């Protein structure tokens, strides 16, 4: 090796490469910091955003905007330093009423009194034909109306019933993946108290001693409330949700916190995928996944679910149970996870319309916390003359080709046989309802903003295009002006819907297809979904009834008449052990 070769050998030149690499890294880091983090917003950035918001500006307009757009970025940073827990609402709220009626009475008591055992309306639905069976396990599928009479008459104790449901939750819950937390200690305590009170003659009403399950987005004091999502799986509230308080006041027994699709979407949660009791290979749909599955499987007497856009209707359909989505503002959401301040609604999922009516009566009314909640009575007459109810039907929707049309057409015939003259009814056609769906996305992105900003959304199970992490990020690119404009169009939709419903009290609709489900969730109208048959694979199907605002009494009455003329709600799945 020559002296020249020695000078150029690797041991002699590697320090030079190392120094060059370090220089490149330092310069590259500074470049990246300047251009991607510390670089001021330029007019070219504004021009790029124009494509996203579909609104072009001129060069002069961009220059005029520039300094204030830069200031906005600083304002965002300052605002983000303020911690906003999920339960903090915006300073404005949605009102489905167009007349400006007083929504909350200052004199209203925080907790409504539940129905008594001798309330005329509920005395009519209590089923005295059910007797204690030789095999007590059979009562697991009894409706609340039957369970209530068994408990009231002393044929079955609340403690007996509670132990039956706890055993079933342990036996079938893991396979259905529908239970987040068993509330055994609380349930036994509440059941014991119920039996003692009833023995002393203090009977609170038809829910006294009835075991139930709650969707795990309702806060329970000292018991974890996970919202179905890993970032919140160890969350333990210090206070009960208003709905939980009202059910406790009615004497109901909480046996389980039931699964929901993570952050109220679908049936997938951090513990798995909730199953349809009729077909374990199929998910139960969501987001009230566990509430519907557990009710169908006879693991609870009834359950509480919630709906923003189909989360009661869809799993109730899949699992073959009855669900009530109340009018927006009927049930306080205090203590419930917020997804959309202007669309969230809480309601019962049960085995019959009568059961839903009983539970609904117990949970309605303002609490002074959720200011969207109204002070309106629920006057339900289960024997109301059907001739006094004007029933419409979505003629165009029933005429199109769609899945399960056969069962729906049979349902219309049942209604006609009950004496209803079905009135053709059409939804507003000149308003782009589907284009309003991003209202939900924007509100949900705001409710879970910290997940996105802190990259905690990576902990969620579902990460695809149709999943919350992606939707939250997209929503940040929707201008505030467009969100406001969409809500102005929403007001037009509410106004037109109110005008059209002057001629009817209730209308019947296919549970899915068309714009009905989204539209009525945007306008806040109540709906009752009931089973109406089975498809070719043996899966339950459903039909929906929608009523005027705060007219749950008439919607329930029509749905009750349908159920009395059919038996689909009396069938239950054969469970796998």
Q: How confident is the model over 9-54, as pLDDT tens digits?
A: 555 666 665 666 666 655 555 544 444 445 789 999 999 998 988 8
Percentage of the residues of the chain whose pLDDT score is greater than 90: 80
Q: For 91, list phi and psi in degrees, rounded to 5.
A: -80, 5
Could you report the per-residue pLDDT of 114-126, keeping only the tens digit for each? 445 446 566 678 7
Residues 6+ apart with CB under 8 A from 401: none
Domain edges within the chain: 15-79, 120-431+467-570
pLDDT-based confidence at 491, cuts 50/70/90?
very high
> Average model confidence (pLDDT) for the chain?
91
Q: Counting Cβ atoms within 10 Å, is residue 561 exposed (0-12), middle (13-18) or buried (19+)?
A: buried
Average pLDDT score over residue span 298-302: 98
The SS3 of residue 350 is strand
Q: Residue 1 above 90 pLDDT?
A: no
72 neighbors 40 (Cβ within 8 angstroms): no
Superfamily of domain 120-431+467-570: Amidase signature (AS) domain (3.90.1300.10)
- Which of 522, 339, 346, 521 has the alpha carbon at shortest distance from 445? 339
The number of beta carbons lying within 10 Å of the beta carbon of residue 75 is 11
Q: Which residues pair with 223 in a beta bridge?
A: 220
The beta-carbon contacts of 95-99 under 8 Å, at least 24 apart in sequence, are 95/329, 95/372, 96/327, 96/328, 96/329, 96/494, 96/523, 96/524, 96/525, 96/549, 97/549, 98/494, 98/495, 98/498
- Which of 279, 535, 569, 315 has the alpha carbon at shortest distance from 407? 535
Query: How many angstroms separate the CA atoms of 490 and 485, rounded?
Result: 8
Q: Which residues are catalytic?
A: 215, 287, 311
What pLDDT, on a 0 to 100 scale, did the predictor assign at position 108? 41
CA atoms within 13 A on the CB side of 79: 10
What pLDDT, on a 0 to 100 scale, did the predictor assign at position 33? 45
Could you report the per-residue pLDDT of 248-267, keeping only the tens digit for each? 999 999 999 999 999 999 99
What's the full length of the chain, in residues?
A: 577
What pLDDT, on a 0 to 100 scale, did the predictor assign at position 266? 98
DSSP 8-class letter at 433: G
324 neighbors 556 (Cβ within 8 angstroms): yes
């Amino acid at each position: 090796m020559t002296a020249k070769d020695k000078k150029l050998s690797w041991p002699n030149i590697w320090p030079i490469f190392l120094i060059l690499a370090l220089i490149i890294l330092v310069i590259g880091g500074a470049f990246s910091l300047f251009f991607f983090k510390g670089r001021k917003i330029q007019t070219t950035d504004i021009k790029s955003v124009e494509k996203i918001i579909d609104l072009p500006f001129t060069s002069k307009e961009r220059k005029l905007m520039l300094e204030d757009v830069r200031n906005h970025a600083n304002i965002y940073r300052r605002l983000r330093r303020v911690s906003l827990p999920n339960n903090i609402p915006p300073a404005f709220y949605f009102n489905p009423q167009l007349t400006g009626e007083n929504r909350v009475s200052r004199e209203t008591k925080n907790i409504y009194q539940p129905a008594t055992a001798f309330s005329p309306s509920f005395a009519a639905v209590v089923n005295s034909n059910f007797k204690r069976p030789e095999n007590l396990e059979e009562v697991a599928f009894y409706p609340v109306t039957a369970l209530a009479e068994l408990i009231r008459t002393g044929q079955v104790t609340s403690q007996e019933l509670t132990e039956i449901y706890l055993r079933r939750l342990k036996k079938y819950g893991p396979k259905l993946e529908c239970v987040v937390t068993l509330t055994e200690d609380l349930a036994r305590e509440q059941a014991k108290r119920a039996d003692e009170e009833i023995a002393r003659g203090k009977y609170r009403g038809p829910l006294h001693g009835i075991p139930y399950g709650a969707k795990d987005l309702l806060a329970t004091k000292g018991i974890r409330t996970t919202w179905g999502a890993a970032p919140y799986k160890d969350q333990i509230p210090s206070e009960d949700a208003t709905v939980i308080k009202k059910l406790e006041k009615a004497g109901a027994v909480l046996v389980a916190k039931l699964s929901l699709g993570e952050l109220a979407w679908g049936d997938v949660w951090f513990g798995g995928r909730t199953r349809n009791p009729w077909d374990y290979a199929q998910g139960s749909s969501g987001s009230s996944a566990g509430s519907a599955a557990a009710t169908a499987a006879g693991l609870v007497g009834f359950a509480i679910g919630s709906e923003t856009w189909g989360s009661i209707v869809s799993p109730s359909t899949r699992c073959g149970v009855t669900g009530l989505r109340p009018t927006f503002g009927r049930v306080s959401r205090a203590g419930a996870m917020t997804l959309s301040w202007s669309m969230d609604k809480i309601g019962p999922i049960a085995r019959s319309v009568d059961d839903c009516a009983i539970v609904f009566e117990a949970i309605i009314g303002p609490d002074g916390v959720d200011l969207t909640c109204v002070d309106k009575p629920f006057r339900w007459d289960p024997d109301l003359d059907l001739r006094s109810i004007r029933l419409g039907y979505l003629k165009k929707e029933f005429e199109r080709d769609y899945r399960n049309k056969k069962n729906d057409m049979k349902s219309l015939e049942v209604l006609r046989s009950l004496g209803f003259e079905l009135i053709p009814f059409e939804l507003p056609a000149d308003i782009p309802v589907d284009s309003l769906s991003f209202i939900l996305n924007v509100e949900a992105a705001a409710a879970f903003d910290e997940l996105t900003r802190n990259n905690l959304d990576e902990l969620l199970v579902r990460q695809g295009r149709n999943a919350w992490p992606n939707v939250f990020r997209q929503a940040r690119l929707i201008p505030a002006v467009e969100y406001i404009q969409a809500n102005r169009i929403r007001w037009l939709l509410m106004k037109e819907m109110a005008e059209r419903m002057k001629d009817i009290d209730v209308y019947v609709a296919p549970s899915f297809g068309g714009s009905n489900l989204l539209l009525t969730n945007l306008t806040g109208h109540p709906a009752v979904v009931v089973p109406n048959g089975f498809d070719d694979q043996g899966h339950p199907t459903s039909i929906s009834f929608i009523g005027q605002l705060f007219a749950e009494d008439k919607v329930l009455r029509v749905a009750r008449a349908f159920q009395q003329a059919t038996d689909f709600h009396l069938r239950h799945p054969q469970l796998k052990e």
